[in-house]
Amino acid sequence: MTLTGDMLIGASAVRGSAGTQRAFNPSTNAEIAEPIFGLGDAADVERAATLAAAAFDTYRSLPLATRAAFLETIAEKILALGDTLITRAHEESGLPIARLQGERGRTVGQLRLFAKVVRDGHFLKATIDPAQSRRQPLPRADLRLAKLPLGPVAVFGASNFPLAFSVAGGDTAAALAAGAPVIVKAHSAHLGTSELVGRALQQAVQAHGLPEGVFSLLIGAGRQIGEALVAHPAIQAVGFTGSRQGGLALQKIANARHQPIPVYAEMSSINPVFLLPAALAERAESIGKGFAASLALGAGQFCTNPGLVLACDGPGFASFLKATHDALAATPAQTMLTPGIHAVYQTGAQKVGATPGVETAVFGADAGDRPNAAQAALYVTDAARFLATPTLREEMFGPAAIVVRTRDLQEMLQVAEQLEGQLTATLQLGTADHADARRLLPVLERKAGRILVNGFPTGVEVCHAMVHGGPFPSTSNAMFTSVGAESIERFLRPVCYQDLPDALLPAALQQANPLGLWRMVDGALRQP
C-alpha cells in the first residue's frame, strides 16, 4: 500500500489544504521524505462530522452479527498490511520491532474481543419490568431498558501506542462496537502509521457496505482540527490519551459547548509501588530487578509506568536499591517517541535531581550521541521531603522514578493519603505483611483503578475484568475504564421504553427474545 499523505473522510481520500507536514524519525532526528501530509482544517472537520451524523442511525441499527464481522474485518485488514505497517511504525516511533509486533497483536485482539462482546449482546443490558396492570394502589406500565450508542465519537490517537491506542485502537474499537461512528485525529508522531491503519479501516467499511461516515481520519494541529472536532455539535463523546494539559483543554471545550459532552481522557499517573517490610526482607533483590525492568520498559513511555516507590526502611531496603541501581545502570538508553517528549523528560528528570533533599541514585547508561535517547534515572528521598514538595508527585513521562524511604507504615499511609488519583497501585507483600496491607488497601481503593500484588503495573491485559482508569488526574472520569470489554460503557446510554407495542421495540427487548440474550426480567436474570 502506498502512502499518499491524504486524510480519509468517509470513502474519499482528501488532500488537506491548511499546510503540510512530514513525518519524523526520532531515531535519526530527521524528517521522513515521503509522503508529504496535507493538514486539515475546520471545513474537513465539518465534512467528516456531517458524514458521521448521517451514518449513525443506519450503522447502529445493523444486525449485531454484521457489526461484529466488521470489527473482525478491520483486524484482518490490519494484519494484511504485514511488515509495511511494522516498519513504518518503527520508523516513526523509534519503538522496537518486537514491541510493535506485540502491539499489533493486542490491537487485533481488542477488535476481536469487541466482536465477541457485540455478538454476545450482554452490553445492551436488556432489562424488562413487565406491566402489572392489577398492582395496587397503582398499576405499573411495561418498562424495558436497553443501552444505545451515544452518537459519533472523536478519538485522539496516543503518541505512545501508535497501534493499540490510535486509529483502530481501544477507543475506536469500543466506540464502533457500541454502534458509534468514529472520527480519529491522527497523532502527529505517527502520521504514516495512522494512514495505513486508516486505509485498512476504510476498506473494512467498504467491504461490509456500511455508510461511509462510519469512519474518518483527520490530520492536523490539535489547536485547529482537534478543538473544532470536540466543539462540533455532531460529536457526542471524546476518547483521549495524552498529557494532563491536553486532556483538560479538550474537557474545557466539551463543557463549554451548548450541549456539553463527556471527554474520556486518560492523562497522568505515577503508579505507586509499596514495598512492605516482609517483602523487602524476603526478596529485596528480585523486587529491585523486576521493578527496574518495569520502569525501563519501552523507555518508560507507558501510562502505567511505576514512577514512585514507597519503601519501608529496614532489612532489605539497601539491597533493593542496589539491585535496582545495578539493573538501571546497565540499561541502554532508549529512543523516545518525539523530540518534544524527550525534552520534557530530560528537563523533568533534571529538576527532580536538583531538588534539595533528593539524591540521584542512578542516571543510567550514557546515550552517547544518539538523538532523543533517554537514560533511566532513579532518585531517593524521604517521606518528609516528598510530602513537602508537590512537584515530586508529578508524572515524569519516561524511565525515571522516585524512591521514598518511609520510617514505618504510618508514614507510608500518610504519603499514600496525599497522592492524587492513579491508574494503578502495587503492593509487594511478604507472608507477614497482610496486616499492613489491610490498612493500606482502603486508601488505595480510593486512589486507584487497579490494585496489584507482587507484580508490576506495566502490561495491561485486554479482558473482561480489566480496569484501566482511576480518579483524576489519571483520568477525567473514574467511573469508566479505557481498556477491556467494559470500556464500551463509555459510549452507551440507557433508554427506557414504556408501553411500546412489541413490533416497535428494539429486537433486544422484544417478547420473543429474537437475539437470544440473557435478560433481566422482573429483577431476575433469565436465560434465553
Rounded to the nearest whole angstrom, what is the least distance from the CB of residue 36 to ligand NAP in the complex? 17
User: 190: which residues sit within 8 A by CB, 6+ positions away?
Assistant: 23, 89, 92, 93, 157, 159, 162, 166
Site string for ligand NAP, 506-525 (x = CB under 6 A): --------------------
CA separation for the pair 465, 358 (Å, rounded): 38
Q: Write the single-letter amino acid at 247.
A: G
Do residues 236 and 152 touch, judged by C-beta distance below 8 A?
A: yes
Contact between 13 and ligand NAP by CB under 6 A: the answer reads no
Where does this chain touch ligand NAP (CB under 6 A) — which range of 221-229, 292-300, 483-491, 507-515?
A: 221-229
Question: Rule CB under 6 A: is residue 241 a binding residue for ligand NAP?
Answer: yes
Residue 349 interacting with ligand NAP (CB under 6 A): no
- 156 binds ligand NAP per the rule CB under 6 A: yes
Q: Applying CB under 6 A, does 243 fall inside the site for ligand NAP?
A: yes
Q: Is the dihedral of CA 58, 126, 516, 487 positive or negative?
A: positive
User: Is residue 272 near ligand NAP by the rule CB under 6 A?
Assistant: no
Residue 483 has a CB neighbour count (10 Å cut-off) of 28
Q: Which stretch binds ligand NAP (CB under 6 A): 30-38, 155-163, 271-279, 359-367?
A: 155-163
Among 151, 152, 181, 242, which residue interacts with ligand NAP (rule: CB under 6 A)?
A: 242
Q: Does 374 bind ligand NAP (CB under 6 A)?
A: no
- Please name which of 49, 74, 245 lies closest in space to residue 154, comparing C-alpha atoms: 49
Strand runs labelled E in 110-193: 127-129, 143-149, 153-156, 182-185
198 contributes a contact to ligand NAP by CB under 6 A = no
The amino acid occupying position 346 is Q
Nearer CB in complex with ligand NAP: 127/241: 241
Judged by CB, which is closer to ligand NAP: 124, or 155?
155
∠ Cα 107 159 295 (to 5°)? 85
CA distance 57 to 55: 6
User: Where in 69-108 is the site for ligand NAP (CB under 6 A)?
Assistant: none
Starting at the edge strand found earlier in the chain, the sheet holding 7-9 runs 12-14, 7-9, 215-218, 182-185, 153-156, 237-241, 263-266
Does 221 bind ligand NAP (CB under 6 A)? Our answer is yes
Query: What is the C-alpha separation between 465 and 445, in angstroms, rounded?
Result: 16
Using the rule CB under 6 A, which residue among 187, 199, 232, 490 binds ligand NAP? Answer: 187
Instruction: Verify binding: residue 226, ligand NAP, rule CB under 6 A.
Output: yes
Residue 232 makes contact with ligand NAP by CB under 6 A: no
Smallest separation (angstroms) from ligand NAP to the CB of 275? 23
163 binds ligand NAP (CB under 6 A): no
Under rule CB under 6 A, residue 371 binds ligand NAP:
no
Closest separation in Å from C-beta 383 to ligand NAP? 25
Place of cell 490494585: 451
Q: Angle 409-418/434-447 helices, nearest 10 degrees?
A: 10
Q: Is 402 in the site for ligand NAP (CB under 6 A)?
A: no
Question: Which span (14-22, 99-107, 245-253, 381-389) binds ligand NAP, by CB under 6 A?
Answer: 245-253
Task: Work out which of 3, 167, 303, 333 binds ligand NAP, going by CB under 6 A.
Answer: 303
* Chain-centroid distance, C-alpha 320: 31
C-beta separation of 272 from 416 below 8 A: yes
The distance of Cα 87 from the centroid of its chain, to the nearest Å, equals 23
Our finding on whether 344 is near ligand NAP (CB under 6 A) is yes
- Residue span binding ligand NAP (CB under 6 A) among the ranges 64-72, 236-244, 371-379, 508-516: 236-244
Query: Which residue number, 220 or 288, has a Cβ lying nearer to ligand NAP?
Result: 220
Instruction: Compute the least distance from the CB of residue 21 to ligand NAP, in Å.
Output: 9
Decide if residue 159 touches ligand NAP (CB under 6 A).
Answer: yes
Would you count residue 375 as binding ligand NAP (CB under 6 A)? no
- CA distance linking residue 325 with residue 330, whole number of Å: 9
Positions marked catalytic: 266, 303
- Among 110, 216, 251, 268, contact with ligand NAP (rule: CB under 6 A): 268
> Does 444 help bind ligand NAP (rule: CB under 6 A)?
no
CB 488 within 8 A of CB 178: yes
Closest alpha carbon to 446 in 420, 476, 414, 473: 420
Please spell the DSSP secondary structure of 335-363, one letter per residue: E-S-HHHHHHHHHHHHHHHTSTT-EEEEE
Which ranges in 267-338 belong to alpha helices (H)? 277-296, 317-329
Q: Does 111 bind ligand NAP (CB under 6 A)?
A: no
443 touches ligand NAP by CB under 6 A: no
Rule CB under 6 A: is residue 339 a binding residue for ligand NAP? no
Give the CA count within 13 Å in the CB-facing half-sphere of 506.
26
397 binds ligand NAP (CB under 6 A): yes
Identity (one letter) of the amino acid at 384? A
Name the site residues for ligand NAP (rule: CB under 6 A): 156, 158-160, 185, 187-188, 221-223, 226-227, 241-243, 246, 249-250, 266-268, 303, 341, 344, 395, 397
